[in-house]
Every structure is written in structure tokens, then in C-alpha cells.
Amino acid sequence: MRKRFYITTPIYYVNSVPHIGTALTTLASDVTARYRAMRGDDVTFVTGTDENGTKVMEAAQRAGKDTQAFVDEISGAFADVFTGLKIGYSDFIRTTEPRHRRAVQEVFTRLRDAGYVTLGKYEGWYDVSSETFFRESDLVDGKSPDGNEVRWVEEENWFFRLSEFEKPLLDHIEAHPEFILPEARRNEVVSFIRRGLRDASITRTNPGWGIPVPGDETKVIYVWFDALINYLAAAGWPDEGWQALWPADVEWMGKDILTRFHATLWPAMLMGLGLPLPTTLVGHAWMLMGGEKISKSKGNVVAPLDLARDLAAASGCAEDAAIDAVRYYMAATLPLENDATFTHDDFEKHYNSDLANDLGNALNRSLAMSAKFVGAVVPDAPVEPEVAAAIRAAKDGFEAAMAVYDVAAATSAAFGLVRFLNKHIDTRAPWALAKAGDPALGSVMGSILLTLRSAEGLVRPIMPGVADAIAAQLGVAPLTEWDAIGTPGSLPAGTVLSEPKPIFPRLDLKAKAAAQAAPPKPEKPKKEPPIPMEPIGIEDFAKVELRIGRVLEAVPLEGSDKLLKLDVLVGDEKRQIVAGIRKNYTPEQMIGRQVVVVFNLKPAMLRGTESQGMLLAAVDEQGGAILLRPEKEAPEGAKVR
Ligand code: ME8
């Protein structure tokens, strides 16, 4: 049986809908899957959702929903967003499915039978936000190392004898340099293991949600022990045939879940079961926003499909092209070793310079000149050696980058060829050759078109829709075989080309900047109405419900130079609030910030837009706003009294 190429993503907690942080790993996996398929591998690509944890149960309770109904809904939202982003997964596993529950109970039983799982007493701190146990010495100012609240847990529990695997893990990492990537991350893992591994508590008292311990319904299996097994369950283990998939060729994830879980607990569990380890674990860095990790709990999230929708509306590109633009941005900036920062400005700049300019020009000029100089037909002429070398170099660069799962470097290699094409058109100047009747014209135009065809192949794993559009404009079928990239046969002489059609119209950033930078009109200082002297009772004050919210999105309100339109998350509820703070705050300053919201204010229409609340602010001498915010991070949705 031929082993399939098996790619996995983390399975995502269904405590809230996906954002560009969670979509990032899935996109990296999708680019890997599409690339490997083009190379001829039989690819299986699995993603899914992690549904059994305390934090998911508590999120359902906060939303006032039945837990199963809640996880069904959010898991469905993940699948929808991934489908919207053209993530071509072959399987979507949910940890509430019978196939997963059965595999988890089987792993538990086998490890208990083998003596690797034993009963003991757990006393320590538990961080529900990351579902992690911590020692007293791990805590920083009474919180988890990431700053999350912890709670004390004292329970009789089952323990996995992780400490026995220190040496085998270190030996495996040393013998397999490809096991943990990127390299810097491997060193972090090695020093973590060298500091000593403690036996891991792998059960919790049953809160009425989770996978019960076989033979002991009073306990459920710890959510991380449970979740990691999804990779095996999706391979069909323990049923016949799992060897066709297992071991995974690559398990993609963010750096936050590499060291403690995927690079220690998980391989130790597999060693205990006598199963082979995944070939490679990739722990990429984070996408930050406003200096913090984009995260559901921090609330500073951007929804990837909204980003695409807004781009399509602002630029006039088709929605499918806008999805590919978001995919391109995520791939081009995919943080591997170091964290990257997301801003709307950076996204728009990448769109204009790389897609509208570089790719757009390359496509438009190549096809327009072909129509003009060679009758819109691919000439029968040899490829210029310099062009063949450039295509080869870009392809090699892409392959070398993907061999170490550096998606950003692979994307840059593909776009290096697009930029080469634009330069080559400038230096070879086909218009001058045509004018002079130079016989080199055929070879030059043929080489230009082959470069475009090769660029189509190289960008295909990242932007499948755009690649199809390029192929259609070239008048050929999509280039889906990696080996064909750069071969003259991939664009036969005599092929009739189509008219160039722009895929990515430019965004007018100058107009936007001018609108934002327009000097404010001098205004007379406003007189505030006098504060009424009539005292009110506490019962009057209690009528006003003030709550802490977090600004998710902020944009200037069209047609007003004073108003910003904000999406504010208050607890579990998203409110649209129009605030007159534009003179004092830019949208960028607002995103991610905590604010005080008058939560029970009647909705009002401001400039034709509904405002569902109000922000509290002090008033400066010019009548401008100085927003109130809690002195330190407050719990999401907290009441203000
Ligand atoms: O940890 N930048 O699920 P999760 C980059 N259920 N990547 C980010 C990111 C950001 N700002 N935010 C999230 C879990 N991610 C567990 C996994 S696997 C057996 C169980 C990505 O919903 C990154 O891949 O918290 C991170 O590891 C993953 O989302 C965590 O998703």
C-alpha cells in the first residue's frame, strides 16, 4: 500500500468563531497540501475542532446555550470559514464524534494496561484559558506565564508517566533534525525537556462534558490528552488500514502549543503505544495586532472573510479574487520564526504593490503586447536561456522553502518570478524589437508568455482561483503538475491567447489617506451644558448598565469627519457603536482597546447608521473625547459600577 502524504492542523477550540490567527495555520497547511498534490503526492489533509474542554463548556454556558448545540454551531462556523477561504481539507474531525471518542478511550486503556497510566493525587494550578496545568513555580504574579487566571485544583487523577520519556524524546529529536521546525523552536523544546518533565495529570473530575475515563464515569480525560489523539483517529486508528496514513508527514501549529503538547506529551504518548512519530512538527510564530497575539480571549480579532468582503467592496475586485488576496497576504507574511503584525494598512499595501501592480502589470502587459506584436498567438520560437534560468531559480527557491515549510519564503520565490517578468519586459522592450523588425521578437514574446505560465503554476498553491484566471487568459487548461512548470510543452506554440482582464483593480490609498489626514477645521471650543445640580439616587444610577467592551473593528463613518463606526464585543455580544471620537482617535488606535460601554442605551440612528450603545469619555477643552478605559485589563463584558 502506498503511504499517503498526511497533513494536519491543530483542531480549534470552539469557544468562538475563527479569525485570521486561526485561519493562518489552516492556510499554511492548505498551501502545503496543494503544493504536495501538484508534486504528485496522494495527499490527505485533516483539520477540525476541539470540543470537549472546560473552556468550551463554559463558553456555551455564558452564551446560555446547550453545550452540544453550541459546539455544533461553532464547529459549523469553522467549516464554513475554511470552505470560504478555499481550504481544500479532505476530512474535518470533531472530538465529539464517536470515531474520536473511541480512539481516545482505546489509547487510555492501552497505556493503562502497559503501566504508563497510573492513579495519583493532583494538586496544583489549572489555567482554563489554555487548558494547562501549572506548578506554583511556573506562575508569574499569581497568573499563568501568559497572564491568564488560574484556579487551584486538588483531585485524585490518572497520571501519564511522561517523566519516563525524557531520554527517548531527546534521543529522537537529536536523531531527527527534521522533527521540529523551525530550528530555533527545536532548541526551545530541548531546553524545556532538559529542565525535567513531570508526570502529567490526564483526567479531571467529570463536569458533565468530555470523554469519560474507561471504567470510571466520575472522571473525564484531560482535553489535551484527548485532542492530540485526533490525528490518529482521523487516520482510522485503531481499525485496519491506519498505516496508509500514519505517521503524519507534517503537523502544522502555532508555537504556543508546540513545546508542552505536540513536542513532548504527544510523541511520548505515541512512544508508549509503540507507534511511529510524525515526521515533522512545524511551530510557526504569531500574528499580532496592537502589540498582542490575535486571540479570541483578547477579542482583537479580524474575520478573514470580512477582510475579503471589504476588499472586494473597496477595490472592485471579484469576491473570489479577494479571497485569494487574503490567502496571498497570509502566505506572504506567514510568521515562522518571528511574530508578524497585522494592520489593515499593511494588507492594503501588499494588495496594491504585489497584486494590483506586480502581478497585474505582468499579466496585462504580457497579453496586451502579445495581441499587438504576435497576433495573440504563442510564437514557435526557442526560450531565452536567461528566462529559462530565472524560471528554474524561482522553482528551486519555492521547493527549497517548502522543504522546510517556509511558506512566506516560497511565496516570495513565486513573486520573484513575477517581478523578474516585469523587469525582463522593460529590458527586452518588445515594442522596440517590433519597430525594428528584429527577428528576436518571437523568442522574447514566447519567453515572456512562458514566464507568465510558470508564475501561474508557482502561485497556484497560494491563489488557486487567480491561477485559474491566468490560465484562462492564456487560453490553456490549469497547470496542475509541478514538473510541468517551465517546460515549453506547458504553453504550446500556436496557443491562442485571450484578452487581458484585470483581476486586481488598484485600491485608491491616496484618497483614503487624504480623507484621513484632512486638517480639522478650526472649531470654537464648545460649551458643555451645565451639570444638573439636582442629586440623583443610587436607584437612578443603577438604571444605567455600564459594561467593559473591546473594540474589534473601527472604520471612519462615510460622510462624517467626526464619527467612527466601531464593532465592540461586550461579553458575548457584538454591538455596532457610532462614536464622535474621530478627531481624537484613529481607527488603528481603537482596534483591540477596552472601552466602557453604556450597554442599555436605546439604539439611535447617526448619519443613517444604527448605533447600539455609547462609549464613556472625558471631555477636553476643545470638546474632544478622552476615552475611559479600565486601569488594567478587565474581564470581557465586566460590569462597571
Ligand atoms: O490550542 N497567530 O486551539 P486554539 C498565529 N484546541 N496563529 C494563531 C494565532 C495567532 N494570533 N491565534 C491562533 C488549541 N493561532 C487546541 C489545539 S491540537 C491537538 C489542539 C493558531 O483554537 C495557532 O496554530 O486555541 C495555534 O496553535 C492555534 O491557532 C490554536 O488554536
The whole-chain average pLDDT of the chain stands at: 93
Q: Output the CA angle 33-39-41, nearest 5 degrees.
A: 65
Q: What is the atom index within ligand 1 of the atom nearest the CA of 256?
A: 27
pLDDT at 532: 43
Question: Distance from the CA of 243 to the center of ligand 1, in angstroms?
Answer: 27
- Cell 519567453 sits on residue: 447
pLDDT at 561: 85
The number of CA neighbours under 13 Å toward the Cβ of 436 is: 10
**Model confidence at 246, in pLDDT bands (50, 70, 90)?**
very high
Q: Output the CA angle 227-126-630, nearest 5 degrees.
A: 110
Beta bridge partners of 454: none
Is any atom of ligand 1 closer than 6 Å to the C-beta of 287?
Answer: yes
Give the type of residue at 117: V
Question: Distance from the CA of 132 to the center of ligand 1, in angstroms?
Answer: 14
Q: Report whether pLDDT(632) > 80.
A: no
Question: Distance from the CA of 356 to the center of ligand 1, in angstroms?
Answer: 31
Residue to substitute in 74, 257, 258, 289 for testing ligand 1 pocket (most ligand atoms within 8 angstroms of CB): 257
Question: Distance from the CA of 223 to the center of ligand 1, in angstroms?
Answer: 14
Q: Whose CA is nearest to atom 8 of ligand 1?
A: 21
Q: Report whether pLDDT(521) > 70.
A: no
- Cell 506572504 sits on residue: 332
pLDDT at 307: 97
Question: Distance from the CA of 586 to the center of ligand 1, in angstroms?
Answer: 29
Q: 473-520 pLDDT, tens per residue?
A: 999 999 999 999 999 999 999 999 999 999 999 998 877 777 777 665
Q: What does the alpha-carbon distance between residue 421 and residue 444 come to, in Å, rounded to a whole number?
A: 11
Is any atom of ligand 1 closer than 6 Å to the C-beta of 330?
Answer: no
Question: Distance from the CA of 242 to the center of ligand 1, in angstroms?
Answer: 26
Beta bridge partners of 640: 546
Q: Which of 28-42, 238-252, 289-303, 356-370 has the lowest mean pLDDT?
A: 289-303
Residues 292 and 298: beta-carbon distance below 8 Å:
yes
pLDDT at 463: 98
Q: Whose CA is nearest to atom 31 of ligand 1?
A: 12
Backbone angles phi, psi at 10, to 5 degrees: -60, 160
Is any atom of ligand 1 closer than 6 Å to the C-beta of 24?
Answer: yes
Q: Report whether pLDDT(15) > 90.
A: no
Q: What is the atom index within ligand 1 of the atom nearest the CA of 287?
A: 2
DSSP 8-state code for residue 491: S
Residue to substitute in 22, 75, 298 for testing ligand 1 pocket (most ligand atoms within 8 angstroms of CB): 22
Question: Distance from the CA of 200 to the center of ligand 1, in angstroms?
Answer: 21
Is any atom of ligand 1 closer than 6 Å to the C-beta of 21?
Answer: yes
Q: Are strands 212-213 and 292-293 parallel, antiparallel or unpaired?
A: unpaired
Cis peptide before 587 (omega within 30 of 0): no
Q: What does the alpha-carbon distance between residue 101 and residue 233 come to, in Å, rounded to a whole number?
A: 9
Is any atom of ligand 1 closer than 6 Å to the C-beta of 11?
Answer: yes
Q: 101-139 pLDDT, tens per residue?
A: 999 999 999 999 999 999 998 888 989 888 888 888 889
Percent of the chain clearing pLDDT 90 (strictly above):
77
Give the type of residue at 25: T
Question: Distance from the CA of 293 to the center of ligand 1, in angstroms?
Answer: 11
pLDDT at 507: 95
Question: Distance from the CA of 226 to the center of ligand 1, in angstroms?
Answer: 16
Q: Is 92 helix (H, G, I), strand (E, B) or coil?
A: strand
Q: Whose CA is nearest to atom 14 of ligand 1?
A: 12
Q: 27-57 pLDDT, tens per residue?
A: 999 999 999 999 999 999 999 999 998 889 9
Q: What is the atom index within ligand 1 of the atom nearest the CA of 261?
A: 19
Residue to substitute in 7, 8, 9, 12 for testing ligand 1 pocket (most ligand atoms within 8 angstroms of CB): 12
Q: Whose CA is nearest to atom 19 of ligand 1?
A: 228
Question: Distance from the CA of 517 to the center of ligand 1, in angstroms?
Answer: 37
Question: Distance from the CA of 117 to the center of ligand 1, in angstroms?
Answer: 27
Q: What count of other Cβ atoms lies within 10 Å of the Cβ of residue 175?
A: 8
Q: What count of other Cβ atoms lies within 10 Å of the Cβ of residue 319?
A: 15
Greater model confidence, 447 or 126: 447
Is any atom of ligand 1 closer than 6 Å to the C-beta of 227?
Answer: yes
Q: What is the atom index within ligand 1 of the atom nearest the CA of 231?
A: 19
Q: What does the alpha-carbon distance between residue 367 and residue 473 come to, in Å, rounded to a whole number?
A: 8
DSSP states of 72-115 as a string?
A: HHHHHHHHHHHHHTT---SEEEETTSHHHHHHHHHHHHHHHHTT
Is any atom of ligand 1 closer than 6 Å to the C-beta of 22?
Answer: yes
- Cell 477595490 sits on residue: 315
The number of CA neighbours under 13 Å toward the Cβ of 352 is: 12
For residue 186, give the nearest of 333, 293, 336, 287 by alpha carbon. 336
Question: Distance from the CA of 522 to the center of ligand 1, in angstroms?
Answer: 48
Question: Distance from the CA of 382 to the center of ligand 1, in angstroms?
Answer: 49
Is any atom of ligand 1 closer than 6 Å to the C-beta of 12?
Answer: yes
Give the type of residue at 446: G
What is the side-by-side order of every strand in the sheet holding 287-289?
292-293, 287-289, 340-341
Q: What is the atom index within ligand 1 of the atom nearest the CA of 288?
A: 11
Q: Is 493 helix (H, G, I), strand (E, B) or coil?
A: coil
Which whole number is the average pLDDT over 607-631? Answer: 88
Question: Distance from the CA of 22 to the center of ligand 1, in angstroms?
Answer: 6
Q: Whose CA is nearest to atom 18 of ligand 1?
A: 10
Is any atom of ligand 1 closer than 6 Å to the C-beta of 286?
Answer: yes
Question: Distance from the CA of 254 to the center of ligand 1, in angstroms?
Answer: 6
Residues 303 and 43: beta-carbon distance below 8 Å:
no
Q: Report whether pLDDT(225) > 80.
A: yes
